[in-house]
């Protein structure tokens, strides 16, 4: 069985005890919405049908993680607040190395938190795999490439959310993005590549701006080009128009390392972009929002405070 990759390159093998279904489905009361009316642009072949797997042997905070792979029909699922509504919305990009999506750890559990704070959550099931990949050696030829299908899905989703803002009780000027690991790289991509779509416009949604109003990257990857300097991946061209950004990572992250966040932080700071960076000694990689005894587990509260300081939600 092909291993499932959570984060960017950590591999967790799924044995016979893994629960397996086909197309991922949200909880009752929520509906997936296809983001493309027909065949998505730049469609790439995948090695099999969409599959959702849960590994009972790999646990985060004592709970297993569900992963979705071979996504060819990207969808968004809108989770609206049950009580107060701040008008803020966040499009969430789960991580998974652009091979799979950690759909619960870095998806639905994030929506539970956001909606409890009066924030609409839009969970994007973007296309994976979406970077050049050698299926025979399980290795990527270019970890700093543009994730074209995934970024197209992100751009399209931002336009759709703005188009339907009134219907979904969202302020079109308070729509942000939040992503983990590879999804954190997607956060940086859409934060710097919003001036034009990577695809030919389809309908009115593509006339809306796809620039996020704010961005949150949690243990992001693919940003640092390596070496002794904090060089930034040239595929994320930061400018003064890059939205205000919040970054968090653990110093013992053995998948990406803090240089990913530090390189992006320096570029944002040099461009005059409001940015807040939190580095913790411990936490590793792929911790999501699941609570532990480590201080890094409080990062969601820091995001809430930050959203108040940038004027997205009341202080």
CB 184 within 8 A of CB 218: yes
CB 19 within 8 A of CB 64: no
In the chain, what percentage of residues exceed pLDDT 90? 80
Write out pLDDT tens, residues 122-157: 999 999 997 654 433 333 434 567 889 999 999 999
* pLDDT at residue 56, rounded to an integer: 81
* pLDDT at residue 132, rounded to an integer: 53
In the chain, what percentage of residues exceed pLDDT 70? 89
Mean pLDDT of 73-101: 96
The per-residue pLDDT of the chain, averaged, comes to 90
Residue 6's pLDDT band, with cuts at 50, 70 and 90, is very low
The HSE-up count of residue 265 (CA atoms within 13 Å, CB side) is 18
Write out pLDDT tens, residues 40-58: 999 988 989 999 999 788 8
DSSP one-letter string for 186-237: HHHHHHH--SS-SS---SGGGGS----S-EEEES--S-B--SSS-PBPTTS-
Residue 110's pLDDT band, with cuts at 50, 70 and 90, is very high
* pLDDT at residue 18, rounded to an integer: 53
Write out pLDDT tens, residues 194-211: 999 999 999 999 999 999
Statement: residue 100 has pLDDT above 60:
yes
Largest Cα–Cα distance in the chain?
Answer: 52
Domains and CATH numbers, the chain: 4-309 (3.40.50.1820)
* pLDDT at residue 279, rounded to an integer: 97
Between 239 and 12, residue with greater pLDDT:
239
Q: Which two tokens stand for residue 147?
A: 């994730």
User: Could you tell me the pTM of the whole model?
Assistant: 0.91
| CA 97 vs CA 150, 172, 190: distances in Å | 12, 30, 17
Residue 2's pLDDT band, with cuts at 50, 70 and 90, is very low
Write out pLDDT tens, residues 161-175: 999 999 999 999 999
* pLDDT at residue 139, rounded to an integer: 36
* pLDDT at residue 228, rounded to an integer: 84
Mean pLDDT of 270-277: 98
Statement: residue 305 has pLDDT above 70:
yes
Residue 7's pLDDT band, with cuts at 50, 70 and 90, is very low
Statement: residue 65 has pLDDT above 90:
yes
* pLDDT at residue 57, rounded to an integer: 81
Tell which residue, 125, 211, 120, 110, has the closest CA to residue 164.
Answer: 120
Tell which residue, 92, 54, 53, has the closest CA to residue 75.
Answer: 92
């Amino acid at each position: 069985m092909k291993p499932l990759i959570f984060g960017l390159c950590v591999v967790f093998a799924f044995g016979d005890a893994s629960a397996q279904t086909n197309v991922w489905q949200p909880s009752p009361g929520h509906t997936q919405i296809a983001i493309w009316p027909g065949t998505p642009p730049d469609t790439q072949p995948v090695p099999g049908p969409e599959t959702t797997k849960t590994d009972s042997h790999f646990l985060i905070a004592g709970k297993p993680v569900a992963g979705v792979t071979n996504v060819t029909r990207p969808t968004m699922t809108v989770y609206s607040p049950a009580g107060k509504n701040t008008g803020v919305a966040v499009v969430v990009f789960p991580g998974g190395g652009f091979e799979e999506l950690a759909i619960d750890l870095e998806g639905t559990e994030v929506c539970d938190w956001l909606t409890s704070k009066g924030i609409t959550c839009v969970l994007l099931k973007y296309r994976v795999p979406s970077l050049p990949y050698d299926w025979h050696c399980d290795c990527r030829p270019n970890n700093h490439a543009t994730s074209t299908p995934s970024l197209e899905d992100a751009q399209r989703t931002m336009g759709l959310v703005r188009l339907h803002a009134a219907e979904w009780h969202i302020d079109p000027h308070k729509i942000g993005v939040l992503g983990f690991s590879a999804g954190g790289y997607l956060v940086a991509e859409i934060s710097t590549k919003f001036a034009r779509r990577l695809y030919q416009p389809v309908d009115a949604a593509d006339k809306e701006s796809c620039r996020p109003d704010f961005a949150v990257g949690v243990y992001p990857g693919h940003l640092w080009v390596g070496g002794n300097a904090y060089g930034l991946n040239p595929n994320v061209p930061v400018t003064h128009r890059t939205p205000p950004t919040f970054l968090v990572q653990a110093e013992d992250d053995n998948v990406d390392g803090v240089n990913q966040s530090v390189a992006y932080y320096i570029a944002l700071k040099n461009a005059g972009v409001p940015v807040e960076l939190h580095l913790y000694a411990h936490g590793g990689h792929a911790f999501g929002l699941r609570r532990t005894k480590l201080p890094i587990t409080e990062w969601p509260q820091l995001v809430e405070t930050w959203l108040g300081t940038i004027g997205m939600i009341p202080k």
